[in-house]
């Protein structure tokens, strides 16, 4: 083995976005295969396994998050256009939405207020700092939206991004069990609840249950992103933090 050559290659790679981007895609590919192997068990959620693999790899190689993010940002950036893209399923489900717009609007508004209110309230009860409460408040909205809100209300946007991902995972893993326990069979009800509580990660899970549940979850995620952006800063003002 030629040690200096390997070190040179490492110096080159750690300075270039190529490595961060590639390991993100490879880790996700492996995690996704593992997920399929487990018969789509929600416990083998590909986000959890790929994040765990990447953190382990970065810690073993002594790579910092900012070095990794040089490459990871290209994937992260796509959350913006993906948010815009939600207009398409929203438009395609519009006729179905129009029939049930009133229940959807009521559940959505209540859901958004409950999501923010319960996370601020619980964090406050358990002695969390204001910064933590504000970082938790928008956690049920999709990442780019939640980060924007977190910044506006005095949270830590990058911590919010992590909490958003964790929220999505909790929702995706537990959602179907909760609905079973509540004896809910209507895919539109399940989809709306999934999208409001667990945004994109929940929506990805909903699409695996049925395409109708996925469409409704996507719809709820898009609408609640919008509602969260409007309601949460105002709610925080109201509570007076």
Binders of other proteins in range 21-80 (CB under 8 A): 24-25, 27-28, 45-47, 50-51, 54-55, 58-59, 65-66, 68-69, 72-73, 75-76, 78-80
Of 1-9, 11-19, 36-44, 152-160, the segment contacting other proteins by CB under 8 A is 152-160
CB of 9 to other proteins, least distance (A): 23
Q: Which two tokens stand for residue 143?
A: 């990442």
Residues 157-176 contacting other proteins, CB under 8 A: 158-159, 161-168, 170-171, 174-175
Q: Indicate whether 190 belongs to the interface with other proteins (CB under 8 A).
A: yes
Which of residues 9, 11, 18, 82 is near other proteins by CB under 8 A? 82
Nearer to other proteins, 34 or 159 (CB): 159
Helix segments in the chain, DSSP class H: 3-15, 17-37, 46-60, 65-77, 79-85, 87-92, 94-99, 101-125, 130-136, 143-153, 157-181, 187-209, 211-239
Which stretch in 1-9, 10-18, 36-44, 180-188 sits in contact with other proteins by CB under 8 A? 180-188
175: number of Cβ within 10 Å:
22
Chain centre to alpha carbon of residue 193: 15
Q: What CA–CA distance (Å, rounded) separates 25 from 152?
A: 32
| Contact pick of 189, 209, 213, 236 for other proteins (by CB under 8 A) | 189
Task: Using CB under 8 A, count the residues that bind other proteins.
Answer: 108
For tokens 């080159």, the residue is: 12
Minimum distance from residue 1 beta carbon to other proteins (Å): 29
Distance, CA of 209 to CA of 217 (rounded, Å):
11
Q: Site mask, other proteins, residues 222-241, x = CB under 8 A?
A: x--xx--xx--x--------
Site for other proteins in 114-133 (CB under 8 A): 114-115, 118-119, 122-123, 126-129, 132
Nearest to 196 by CA among 139, 126, 136, 239: 139
* Angle value at C-alpha 94, between 150 and 104, nearest 5 degrees: 55
């Amino acid at each position: 083995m030629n040690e200096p050559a390997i070190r040179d290659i490492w110096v080159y790679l750690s300075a270039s976005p190529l490595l961060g981007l590639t390991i993100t895609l490879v880790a996700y590919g492996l995690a996704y295969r593992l997920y399929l192997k487990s018969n789509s068990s929600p416990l083998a959620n590909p986000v959890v396994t790929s994040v765990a693999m990447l953190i382990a790899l970065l810690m073993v190689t002594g790579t910092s998050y900012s070095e990794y993010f040089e490459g990871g940002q290209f994937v992260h950036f796509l959350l913006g256009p993906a948010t815009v893209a939600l207009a398409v399923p929203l438009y395609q489900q519009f006729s179905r939405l129009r029939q049930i717009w009133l229940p959807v609007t009521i559940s959505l508004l209540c859901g958004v207020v409950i999501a923010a209110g319960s996370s601020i309230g619980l964090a406050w009860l358990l002695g969390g700092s204001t910064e933590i409460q504000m970082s938790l408040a928008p956690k049920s909205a999709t990442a780019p939206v939640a980060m924007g809100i977190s910044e506006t209300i005095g949270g830590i946007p990058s911590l919010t991004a992590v909490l958003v991902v964790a929220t999505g995972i909790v929702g995706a893993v537990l959602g179907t069990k909760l609905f079973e326990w509540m004896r809910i069979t209507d895919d539109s009800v399940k989809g709306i609840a999934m999208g409001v509580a667990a945004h994109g990660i929940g929506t990805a899970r909903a699409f695996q249950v049925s395409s109708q549940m996925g469409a409704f979850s996507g719809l709820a995620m898009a609408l609640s992103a919008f509602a969260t952006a409007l309601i949460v800063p105002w709610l925080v003002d109201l509570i007076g933090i």
